[in-house]
Structure 1
Amino acid sequence: MKISVIDCYTLAWKSFSKWWIPLCLISGILVIFQILPRILVRQEVRQLRTSVSSFIKASSENDKDKLEEISQEAATQTAAMAQKLTRLGVYLFPIACLFTVILLMYANWAVKNSKDTKRPFYSLIYIALVHVILAFGKLFAFFLFFFPGVYIYIKLLFVSLIMLEGKKSATAAINISWQITRGNFWKLLLLVIMNTTLQLIAMPTIIGAIPVTGFANTARAAAFRRIWEKSNYAENQENSSDTNKENTP
């Protein structure tokens, strides 16, 4: 199934305009988690900027003793900030992933205009855990090999949505996402780049980042639905549901 990026954004806009209240509420929580680390390390960043300015000044004056002193001070400040960010990440990132999964669930509902695939909370926690593990795997791939990292990111773009929609295991969702993205890599990459660009532009405004985050995830869900509805997996899911209904006394 070949998708159209314009069609995905058109569907996303129609869906977002109807479901904007819950999407913006969840996006608002996500934006808070994104800006919270910046607020909490603001003092460390300010100190590091002062050290960098002092280093530049000492370098222009060729003051070697001062340069060595500032270098040690900056190294200590950098290590302290990295340690604080790591500690914050351990606590905040899994929660942010949980709300990302919830946002994707609502985005999927918005595109379908139906809440026919509700999942229990413990299931959302499991999907969020998979989301965390895959996020670290993608990040590791990005750092080692940028272009293979991009490829892996796109191929695994729909794992959470498949687990939400198809009630699949993590392994099955990974395999399905890898298969259904075949033939649409460049269009999905363009979609991701456009979504990321919109979010980066809106992020400094904070308030503007809230609807943009909701819309970007709705566009992702729209692309998923266009592919999923034409795939054999969706048909098998519907047939399985019909069979279960027939067997239910």
Structure 2
Amino acid sequence: MPTDTPSTAAPQAGARPVPHASGRRLEGRIAIVTGAGSGIGRATAARLADEGASVVASDRDEAAALQTAEAIGAHALAVQADVTDPDAMARLVAETVARFGGVDVFHNNAGMAQAAKPLADVGRGEWDALIAVNLTAFFVGAQAVAPAMRERGGGSIVVTASTSAVHPRPGLSAYAAAKSGVLGLTRALALELAADRIRVNAINPVAVKTPMLHEFKLAAEDELLDKMAATIPLGSAIDAEDVAAAVAYLASDDARYVTGIALNVDGGRDL
């Protein structure tokens, strides 16, 4: 079954080890993670904290955000926010600055799945919601954090896109369109914000073992992971911690000259 947080139990024989922080590359940095109440967002919040960052865990589900922040400890803050609401995102940034003094890293991760269906069955309301959460929210979030990063002399924006943007699956037209827009906006902002030393990059995950994966309804629940694994050369859907490791890299000075890219974390699916 999908899990939202790393297990503390010893790995089973033959299990792939979960990646751990390689050092405290983000010591003294301040990070905001949206969609931090579960899945990729929760794993990323934990990883950035392990790397030394103070973390603001934001989610529309306040209780879930609190769980993530409490698991991290004193250097974390939970803030409830709707990522599509400019006022809510401005408040999120203001609360981050008030608590920790600035913003250095923004992981725009909150997303919405599309239940697979033919184009003719996608209603306008569903289309609008998928575009709002998966694309417009990135625009809104970048507008909110860029001034705070500029005041700090730069920063790193990392957005969760998807392999659907470059290698779509049938039945996910609206989702693929939104994530394709994310990649275009990533490149545009990387150029526009470069003079401010703000780097902008995207992550393209393949199927990630989180509860959201089942919302795509690409297969029956009991066969979903096997079906996904069959399309991935490395042979498995990935863990949220694998995406978190990629975000930590792009947020760190190890990637100080990396901007405008879409980093595939896809087990080779896009080859």
Q: TM-score under structure 1 normalisation?
A: 0.29
Which fold has the larger relative contact order, with Cα–Cα distance below 8 Å and residues 6 or more apart in sequence?
1
Instruction: Provide the TM-score with structure 2 as the length reference.
Output: 0.28
**Max Rg structure:** 1
Larger proportion of helix: 1
